[in-house]
Amino acid sequence: MRIHLKNSLVVILIIVLISSLYFLSQAVQSAEQFNRIYLWLFGASILAVFILGIVIIQRFVWLFTKRRKNEPGIKLTSRMVKTFVFLSLPPVLAVYLFSTQFLNNYIDSWFDSKTSQALNDSLELGQLFLDVQTTQALTQTKTIAQKLSEIDSPRQAIYLERFLDETRASGLTLISASEKVIEQASIDILDLNPSLPPQSVYRNVRTGNNYARIEPKQGSQLQIRTLVKVDNVLDVANSYRFLQGLFPIKDEYSTLAFNIETASVGYNQQKYQREQLKKTFNIILFLVLMISMLLALVRAFSSARNLVAPVKLLSQATTRIAEGDYSQSIPVSSKDEIGFLVKSFNTMSSQLAASSALAHRAQTDAVSKQWYLENVLSHLSSGVISIDTDFRILMANSAALKILQLSTKDVINQNIKHLNLMNIGLTPFVDLLLTKLNDHSDEWQQETLITENESRKVLVVRGSRIPDYEQDEGGMVVVFDDQTIINQAQRDAAWSEVARRLAHEVKNPLTPIQLSAERLRLRFLDKMPEQDKDILDRSTQTIVSQVENLKTLVNAFSDYAKAPELKREARGLNKLIKEAVDLYFISHAGIDFKLDLLEPEPTMYIDKVRFSQLLNNLIKNSVESAKDNNVSIRIETAINERIDNILVITFSDNGQGFKEKILKHVFEPYETTKVTGSGLGLAIVKKIVEEHGGNIKAYNHVQGAMIEINLPIYQR
Amino acid sequence: MIYKIPTVLLLLLVINSQVLAKNNVITLKTAIQDNSITITPLLSFKSSNQIKEAIDNGTRVQIIAKAQLYEPHTWWFNSEIDNKKTYFEISYFTLSKLYVIKNKETDEQLGFINYEQLWEEFEKLIAFKFNKPQNKNTWARFRIVLDTGALPTVMQLPVLLNSDWDIDTPWFNQKIDIQ
């Protein structure tokens, strides 16, 4: 809307300007209707040029501002404006220069000396002729004045009519010294107010001179005016009067003389105005030049902008496409090559948009798959890491971090040797990986042992080389599992099997052996000589006692191997602990039990019998580990500080504690520090705890051993 | 303050142009007769050699004598009662070397041998006759201007820019004593 208004204004301005120039040229050619408005037309032209100039300045300022902002398409606009200007200015300037020169020469050619001389001669001739006429008129006037002077003043007026008839004057006027008309005699009886000469003429005549001049009359007629002094000789006071005579000139002479006068005046006027005429034409031509230049500039700007507009739009759209916005469509404003280019661009952008959508979808799918893969990896219990050929770890799942006990920043994008720095216990693992990477093994599997906080972990590590096309520079993906628990479970299962078989195979023959030994003793003890009797007695006693020991051992193995048929119920632990303590307190009077049990106690979901066995085993262990009868056992229960629904049961004693070398395997069967122990007590305890979903740890505290059991609290 | 400076400059320019004008109206003579009032000016009027040269070369110079009767108002535009114009054309008659001044309204003309004499008697040719105004607070104003538009076209622009052609008098205002 604004652009249309602007364009309309410019068009109106141009029309006004051209009209003004046309009227100016008409006015210069002395057209009457334009002569009066010449200055206004000139002012309008100047104003129009001024406004056009302002429009051009505004365009240049616009161009300069846009150039500084480095807007798209502006350099092309500048170049096109320059081209237009340089194309249009030289011809316009050439036309202007040649026109001014031609006009000046042409105007000068109007005034040649021959014409001038001819006109002057004609004028002189006319003047000579009229001078004769004037002299005659003056002579006649003077004659009449002479006659009048000889007549007394009051009767002079009476003779005036008679004297008029004696001359060829058209009118005689008698004028007083005070320049008042006294009497008039005229051929035209309707001419009551004769024209009088100016005062200066009277002054001149008073001094004794006579006045006679040709004067223009109405139209092309001429007349001769004469004025002479009439001295009243008869008057004593020497008074005087004036006599004016008006003499007509014959029409044929008058017309010819007037024509000569008109031609001469016209020629002189044009000659006089020659320079002004040149200046005026030069000014008008300059205006034409200015207008042509300014219009060329306006047109240059307009054309440049029209041509560059689609290019600018293309540039802006390309920038947006480069920024990722493919929804660009440019209106097709022409059917030329630019229009074709715009159409092609629109097609290209729509195709790009479609391709981008596909690519985006593919990317989304890839991200989704990656997320899915990461999700799967994060839920794997196996540790997974990928390593590039530069030994840099590119990816590690959460299980890997957990197994290696490292954080993400310690692992991701770090060289695998960096793992050594973070944890020296990982050296075997790192060495294994380095070896396999250097070997370029395609697929491999190997066990390795790492140490973590003084505990050992058995890792089963499997590696597979990544082909080059999957990763820029190849590399390796490594999967590893913590086999420690599995190994432990396998060992436990093996021990259970051993215990079960041992109990089964050993327990059956023990009773016949024991009975046979007792029967031998009863049958032959009394019959044996005194020296043999003692031997038999000690031998059978030994057999019986050893069988008893074997039975105890077999029973322990049998308990360990027993299948976990639990009869769990929801109940508290405090009562069970107190019953176990009471049993020992009665049978072992010297034991100092210290109980610190949680009140109110949490409800646990346990097998009462199995748990009593657990408590008995632990108390028994503590009692047996004491150096003397001064036994002190402390039993505490508390809620786990980190996990709310876990009850922590702590047994601590003042015994010898666990030997360091077996501390790590204390819960494994047949690990004992006691001479008489079966080595199954703590193994059974651990088994019961695990059957109840808990875990168990063994420590040495300042004096004695400490067992910590974590059990889940019953959730209703 | 910033708007006052141009205003003051404009006023100074107007005052200056009034003071420095070459030609002036000295006074207006009024003659009241029955129901009419005749106004004649007393001028201090001179022409330049440039104008004389133009007239000598056949240029017809037209001069306008403007007279106006009005009732002034304080802080408002004047109320015009009547106004008259007389056009005088001055030309040179080559055949008898006369400077001719012609009243274009009445076609009366006078021929002068001398150019200076023409201007000396110029004021005597001007007389404006108005109906006698009823309002006692009546003022008359008068001026002489060169009719630029009547000049040949090619001379109009140079004349506009040439101070020798500036023969205009400023407006002369005078209260009319109406008995």
**ipTM value for the complex:** 0.80
Q: Does A2 touch chain B (CB under 8 A)?
A: no
Residue to mutate among B92, B154, B155, B162, with most A CBs inside 10 A, is B154
Q: How far is CA A229 from CA A26, A90, A144, A481, B54, in A?
A: 53, 74, 11, 155, 35
Strands (E), A195-318: 211-216, 222-231, 240-248
Question: C-alpha angle with apex B107: A215 to B174, nearest 5 degrees?
Answer: 120
C-alpha to C-alpha distance for A461 and A382, rounded to whole angstroms: 10
pLDDT digits (tens, 9 = 90+) for A122-138: 888 888 888 898 999 99
**Is B167 contained in some domain?**
yes
In DSSP terms, A240 is beta-bridged to A231
First to last CA, chain A: 78
Number of other CB atoms surrounding residue A591 within 10 Å: 19
- Facing residue for B93 by CB, picked from A36, A204, A216: A216
Subunit contact B95:A123, Cβ cutoff 8 A: yes
The candidate with the shortest Cα–Cα distance to A213, out of A137, A264, A275, is: A137
Residues A411, A400: contact at Cβ < 8 Å? yes
Q: Report the relative pairing of strands A383-387 and A393-396 from DSSP bridges.
A: antiparallel
Residues B112, B98: contact at Cβ < 8 Å? yes
Q: Which of A9-18, A85-94, A338-347, A625-634 has the lowest mean pLDDT?
A: A9-18
Q: Does B113 touch chain A (CB under 8 A)?
A: yes
**Is B1 contained in some domain?**
no
pLDDT tier for residue B142 given thresholds of 50, 70 and 90: very high
Tell me what pLDDT residue A130 has: 87
Residue to mutate among A116, A273, A283, with most B CBs inside 10 A, is A273
Number of other CB atoms surrounding residue A575 within 10 Å: 12
Tally of structural domains, chain B: 1
> Mean pLDDT in chain A?
83
Tell me what pLDDT residue A30 has: 54
Q: What is the mean pLDDT of residues A538-551?
A: 84
SS (H, E, C) chain B: CCCHHHHHHHHHHHHHHHHHCCCEEEEEEEEEECCEEEEEEEEECCCCHHHHHHHHCCCCEEEEEEEEEEECCCCCCCEEEEEEEEEEEEEEECCCCEEEEEECCCCCEEEECCHHHHHHHHHHHCCEEEECCCCCCCEEEEEEEECHHHCCHHHHHHHHHCHHHCCCCCCEEEECCCC
Q: How far is CA B139 from CA A205, A531, B69, B74, B130, in A?
A: 41, 184, 6, 13, 12
CA B3 vs. chain centroid, Å, equals 34
Is A368 strand, coil or helix? helix
Would you state the structure tokens that stand for residue A389, as one six-digit string? 């050929």
pLDDT tier for residue A299 given thresholds of 50, 70 and 90: confident
Query: Which residues in chain A have Cβ-Cβ distances shorter than 8 Å to B54?
Result: 272
**Is B27 contained in some domain?**
yes
Sorted by sequence, the CB contacts under 8 Å of residue B89 that are 6+ apart come out as B60, B61, B62, B63, B101, B102, B104, B150
The candidate with the shortest Cα–Cα distance to A205, out of A172, A179, A235, A232, is: A179
Tell me what pLDDT residue B17 has: 47
Q: Does B157 touch chain A (CB under 8 A)?
A: yes
Q: What is the mean pLDDT of residues A588-609?
A: 87
pLDDT at A179 over 80: yes
* Residue A165, H or E segment: helix A153-166
Q: Does B127 touch chain A (CB under 8 A)?
A: no
Is A555 strand, coil or helix? helix
Tell me what pLDDT residue B67 has: 95
- Facing residue for B153 by CB, picked from A35, A195, A269: A35
* Residue B117 C-alpha, separation from nearest chain A C-alpha, in angstroms: 7
Sorted by sequence, the CB contacts under 8 Å of residue A583 that are 6+ apart come out as A616
Nearest CA in chain B to A199: B121
Maximum CA extent, chain B: 63
Residue A182 dihedral angles phi and psi, to the nearest 5°: -95, -45
Subunit contact A283:B96, Cβ cutoff 8 A: no
* Residue B100 C-alpha, separation from nearest chain A C-alpha, in angstroms: 9
Query: Which residues in chain A have Cβ-Cβ distances shorter than 8 Å to B53?
Result: 272
Nearest CA in chain A to B116: A200
Q: How far is CA A541 from CA A509, A510, A538, A548, B7, in A?
A: 17, 14, 5, 11, 146
Q: What is the mean pLDDT of residues A489-494?
A: 78
* Residue A710, H or E segment: strand A705-712
Q: What share of chain A is helix, strand, coil (3-state, %, to 5)?
A: 60, 15, 25
C-alpha to C-alpha distance for A611 and A690, rounded to whole angstroms: 12
* Residue A217 C-alpha, separation from nearest chain B C-alpha, in angstroms: 9
Query: Which residues in chain B have Cβ-Cβ distances shorter than 8 Å to A127?
Result: 95-96
- Facing residue for B58 by CB, picked from A213, A225, A266: A266
* Residue B175 C-alpha, separation from nearest chain A C-alpha, in angstroms: 30
Q: Is A713 exposed, middle or buried (0-12, 13-18, 19+ CB in 10 A)?
A: middle
pLDDT at B19 over 50: no
Tell me what pLDDT residue A649 has: 93
Subunit contact B154:A273, Cβ cutoff 8 A: yes
Subunit contact A204:B113, Cβ cutoff 8 A: yes
Q: Does A199 touch chain B (CB under 8 A)?
A: yes
pLDDT tier for residue A4 given thresholds of 50, 70 and 90: low
C-alpha to C-alpha distance for B41 and A183, rounded to whole angstroms: 30
pLDDT at A337 over 70: yes
Residues A649, A671: contact at Cβ < 8 Å? no
Residue B24 belongs to domain spanning:
7-176
**Is B22 contained in some domain?**
yes
Q: How far is CA A377 from CA A392, A461, A514, A675, in A?
A: 19, 16, 61, 50
- Facing residue for A272 by CB, picked from B59, B117, B121: B59
Residue B60 dihedral angles phi and psi, to the nearest 5°: -95, 120
Number of other CB atoms surrounding residue B73 within 10 Å: 10
Subunit contact A214:B93, Cβ cutoff 8 A: yes
pLDDT digits (tens, 9 = 90+) for A220-275: 788 999 999 988 877 767 788 899 999 988 888 888 888 888 888 888 888 888 88
Residues A23, A43: contact at Cβ < 8 Å? no
Tell me what pLDDT residue B90 has: 94
C-alpha to C-alpha distance for A281 and A293, rounded to whole angstroms: 18
Maximum CA extent, chain A: 236
pLDDT at A31 over 60: no
Torsion sign (Cα): A108, A110, A113, A119: negative
pLDDT at B7 over 60: no
Query: Which residues in chain A have Cβ-Cβ distances shorter than 8 Å to B124?
Result: 199
Residue to mutate among A205, A222, A278, A280, with most B CBs inside 10 A, is A280
In DSSP terms, A708 is beta-bridged to A650, A697
Torsion sign (Cα): A518, A519, A524, A526: positive
Residues A600, A639: contact at Cβ < 8 Å? no
Torsion sign (Cα): A176, A182, A187, A188: positive
DSSP class of residue A425 equals G
Query: Which residues in chain A have Cβ-Cβ distances shorter than 8 Å to B125?
Result: none
C-alpha to C-alpha distance for A479 and A385, rounded to whole angstroms: 7
**Is B80 contained in some domain?**
yes
Tell me what pLDDT residue A12 has: 72
* Residue A367, H or E segment: helix A337-379
Query: Which residues in chain A have Cβ-Cβ distances shorter than 8 Å to B152?
Result: 30, 35, 269, 273
Query: Which residues in chain A have Cβ-Cβ distances shorter than 8 Å to B164?
Result: none
In chain A, which among 65-94 make CB contacts under 8 A with chain B? Answer: none
Q: Does A289 touch chain B (CB under 8 A)?
A: no
Q: Is A309 exposed, middle or buried (0-12, 13-18, 19+ CB in 10 A)?
A: middle
pLDDT tier for residue B9 given thresholds of 50, 70 and 90: low
A580 HSE (CA, 13 A, CB side): 26
The candidate with the shortest Cα–Cα distance to A148, out of A102, A195, A183, A116, is: A183
Extract long-range pairs of A711-715: CB within 8 Å, 24+ residues apart.
A711/A604, A711/A606, A711/A646, A711/A647, A711/A649, A712/A605, A712/A645, A712/A646, A712/A647, A713/A602, A713/A603, A713/A604, A713/A639, A713/A645, A713/A646, A713/A647, A714/A570, A714/A602, A714/A603, A714/A604, A714/A605, A715/A645
Q: Does B96 touch chain A (CB under 8 A)?
A: yes
- Facing residue for A200 by CB, picked from B95, B117, B150: B117
DSSP class of residue A57 equals H
pLDDT at B65 over 90: yes
Query: Which residues in chain A have Cβ-Cβ distances shorter than 8 Å to B109?
Result: 195, 215-216
Amino acid at position A326, single letter: Y
pLDDT tier for residue A505 given thresholds of 50, 70 and 90: confident
Our CA dihedral for B64, B69, B71, B73, rounded to 10 degrees, sits at 10
Nearest CA in chain B to A130: B95
How many contacts (CB atoms, under 8 Å) link A and B? Answer: 112
Sorted by sequence, the CB contacts under 8 Å of residue A478 that are 6+ apart come out as A384, A385, A386, A387, A433, A461, A462, A463
Q: What is the mean pLDDT of residues A536-550?
A: 85
Q: Which of A437-446, A655-664, B113-122 has the lowest mean pLDDT?
A: A655-664
Query: Which residues in chain A have Cβ-Cβ distances shorter than 8 Å to B57?
Result: 268-269, 271-273
Q: Does B155 touch chain A (CB under 8 A)?
A: yes
pLDDT digits (tens, 9 = 90+) for A635-651: 999 988 877 789 999 99
In chain A, which among 26-55 make CB contacts under 8 A with chain B? Answer: 27-28, 30, 34-39, 42
pLDDT at B18 over 50: no
DSSP class of residue A415 equals B
Tell me what pLDDT residue B1 has: 46
DSSP class of residue A713 equals B
Strands (E), A403-552: 443-452, 455-466, 475-482
Residue to mutate among B53, B60, B95, with most A CBs inside 10 A, is B95
